[in-house]
């Protein structure tokens, strides 16, 4: 369903109120990626505040089918959520951007659940630990010495490097990415070490008040 058309333009801001929070947002940027995109609700505040790099990293997560050229799909909630939402951002070039939303369920269960994303920086050569997440996106994980020690709920620990993560991602989405996927909630903790400062984009279930 078409929910909003941003007029487009170089460094042109846009803002639109939406009477619900969708499961996904989808659009085609015509090879001119958005400079930024933000979505939230009046109750919870900003849930997603993506820059161009974050959108590129999180595009197509869990999408098994191929996307058309320049299509972007990002996850916003577990399903349709009744809420007063606000969509805003900045376009990078002339040309209207049509935003579509769809949900195949109303929250994925008895209670609709919003998702939240954030960006953190792993300091070079410093072990950084992540817990309670749906997915970690690490697009600039770069060297053969970068790794993640992944501890599962059953106590098993596995060291994963870039090639492992790229290969595993092709099991659940069309385009491989450097992603630690915890959509099944079977990962207890991840300890990440990178040779250089590295941005990690986290997608997780939003908990009220956090």
CATH code of the domain occupying 2-110 = 2.60.120.730
Residue from 193, 192, 195, 171 nearest 181 by CA: 171
What pLDDT, on the 0 to 100 scale, is given for residue 104? 86
What pLDDT, on the 0 to 100 scale, is given for residue 18? 96
What pLDDT, on the 0 to 100 scale, is given for residue 106? 80
pLDDT, one tens digit per residue, over 87-140 is 999 999 999 999 999 888 885 555 678 999 999 999 999 999 999 999 999 999
What pLDDT, on the 0 to 100 scale, is given for residue 110? 59
210 pLDDT more than 80: no
What pLDDT, on the 0 to 100 scale, is given for residue 209? 55
Compute the C-alpha angle 2/4/7, nearest 5°.
125
Strands of 2-8's sheet in order across: 2-8, 94-102, 24-28, 71-75
Classified by CATH at the fold level, domain 117-205 comes out as Jelly Rolls (2.60.120)
Return all residues near 32 (Cβ < 8 A) that are at least 6 apart. Answer: 91, 92, 93, 95
Task: Give the mean model confidence (pLDDT) for residues 191-197.
Answer: 97
pLDDT, one tens digit per residue, over 32-90 is 999 999 999 999 999 999 999 999 999 999 999 999 999 999 999 999 999 999 999 99
Taking the CB of residue 99, how many other CB atoms lie within 10 A of it?
A: 23
pLDDT, one tens digit per residue, over 136-190 is 999 999 988 999 999 999 999 999 999 999 999 999 999 999 999 999 999 999 9
Do 158 and 152 meet the contact criterion of CB atoms below 8 Å apart? yes
CATH 2.60.120.730 in the chain, residues?
2-110
What pLDDT, on the 0 to 100 scale, is given for residue 108? 53
């Amino acid at each position: 369903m078409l929910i909003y058309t941003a007029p487009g333009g170089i460094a042109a801001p846009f803002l639109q109120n939406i009477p619900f929070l969708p499961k996904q947002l989808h659009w085609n940027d015509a090879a001119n990626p958005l400079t930024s995109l933000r979505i939230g609700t009046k109750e919870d505040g900003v849930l997603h505040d993506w820059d161009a790099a974050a959108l590129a990293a999180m595009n197509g997560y869990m999408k098994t089918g191929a996307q058309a050229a320049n299509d972007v799909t990002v996850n916003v909630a577990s399903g349709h959520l009744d809420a007063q939402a606000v969509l805003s951002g900045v376009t990078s070039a002339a040309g209207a951007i049509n935003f579509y939303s769809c949900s195949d369920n109303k929250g994925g269960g008895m209670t609709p659940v919003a998702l939240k994303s954030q960006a953190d920086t792993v300091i070079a050569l410093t072990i950084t630990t992540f817990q309670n997440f749906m997915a970690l996106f690490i697009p600039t994980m770069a060297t053969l010495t970068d790794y993640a020690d992944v501890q599962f709920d059953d106590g098993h620990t596995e060291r994963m490097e870039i090639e492992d993560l790229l290969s595993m991602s092709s099991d659940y989405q069309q385009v491989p990415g450097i992603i630690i996927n915890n959509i099944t909630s079977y990962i207890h903790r991840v300890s990440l070490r990178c040779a250089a400062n590295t941005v990690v984009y986290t997608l997780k279930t939003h908990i009220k008040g956090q």
